[in-house]
Amino acid sequence: MVMEAKATIESSESKRWVIGITGASGAVYGVTLCRQLLAAGFHPHLVITDAGWRVLKEELGWDAAHRLDCLNNAFEFAVAEGRMTYHPLNDIGASIASGSFRCEGMVVMPCSMGSLAAIAAGASTNLLTRSADVMLKEGRPLLLVPRETPLHAIHLENMLKLSRLGVRLIPAMPAFYNGPQSIEDIVSFMVGKVMDSMGIQHNIYKRWGQPNE
């Protein structure tokens, strides 16, 4: 019985991913990733910066004054039903702020240059950057999806520093060999590339050499 309980706990922990959404353009990327994780049976732990909420409002029409309502509407009541956990940005005592919280890793999608710089500097000024710092210190996967152009030397130096620390950098650079017909196709490609790096099986974009259906 003890062994069965332990196995159940470990299985549950392997289904957790921390997902961060920051103030870079492309909030739909993070939202779509969360939807795909939920559909695949994972439990996302979501944290959104204040600037991230501003972008969600500007790009997706979310009402930042009613955050839980927005999340439940976007994710089919996953928060209310306990299939997703939302952590307020300033809740520095949240579970994901501790190295004792077991999870598979963390994805920040999209990742602003400001958040990327804070992570590179080890500046745990809010729950998102603290969670990223936890991933680094615990040796867990940390994937960042920067969305900025053009890039200057500080941006590039910060990304090089993080890459040398083992962080996976997946810039929001969609491909066109798969013949995208809509914004949704472009978003699906980027989310699929991230899920590839997360080690999660999916079929949400057409791969190179895959025949047309």
Q: What is the 3-state secondary structure (H, E, C) of 61-114?
A: CCCHHHHHHHHHHHCCCCCCCCCCEECCCCCCCCHHHCCCCCCCCEEEEEECHH
Give which of 50, 34, 182 is closest to 109, Cα–Cα. Answer: 34
Q: What is the 3-state secondary structure (H, E, C) of 25-36?
A: CCHHHHHHHHHH
56 and 23 Cβ atoms separated by less than 8 Å: no
- Average pLDDT of the chain to the nearest whole number: 92
Residue 14's pLDDT is: 59
Task: Provide the annotated binding site for dimethylallyl phosphate.
Answer: 177, 193
Q: Could you report the per-residue pLDDT of 106-140, keeping only the tens digit for each?
A: 999 999 999 999 999 999 999 999 999 999 999 99
pTM for this prediction = 0.92
Percent of all residues in the chain with a pLDDT value above 90, rounded to a whole number: 87
Residue spans per domain, the chain: 14-198
CATH superfamily of 14-198: Flavin prenyltransferase-like (3.40.50.1950)
Give which of 154, 150, 65, 48 is closest to 109, Cα–Cα. Answer: 48
Structure tokens at 127: 């729950």
Task: Provide the annotated binding site.
Answer: 23-25, 49, 112-115, 147, 177, 193
Backbone angles phi, psi at 48, to 5 degrees: -130, 130
Q: Rounded to whole angstroms, how far apart are CA atoms 68 and 128?
A: 18
Alpha-carbon distances of 93 from 17, 80, 131, 141, 144, rounded to whole Å: 18, 21, 11, 22, 23
Residue 23's pLDDT is: 97
Q: Rounded to whole angstroms, how far apart are CA atoms 136 and 81?
A: 31
Q: Could you report the per-residue pLDDT of 137-188, keeping only the tens digit for each?
A: 999 999 999 999 999 999 999 999 999 999 999 999 999 988 999 999 999 9
Q: Rounded to whole angstroms, how far apart are CA atoms 69 and 58?
A: 17
pLDDT for residue 196 is more than 70: yes
Helix/strand/coil for 48: strand
Task: Provide the annotated binding site for FMN.
Answer: 23-25, 49, 112-115, 147
Residue 208's pLDDT is: 86
Residue 178's pLDDT is: 87
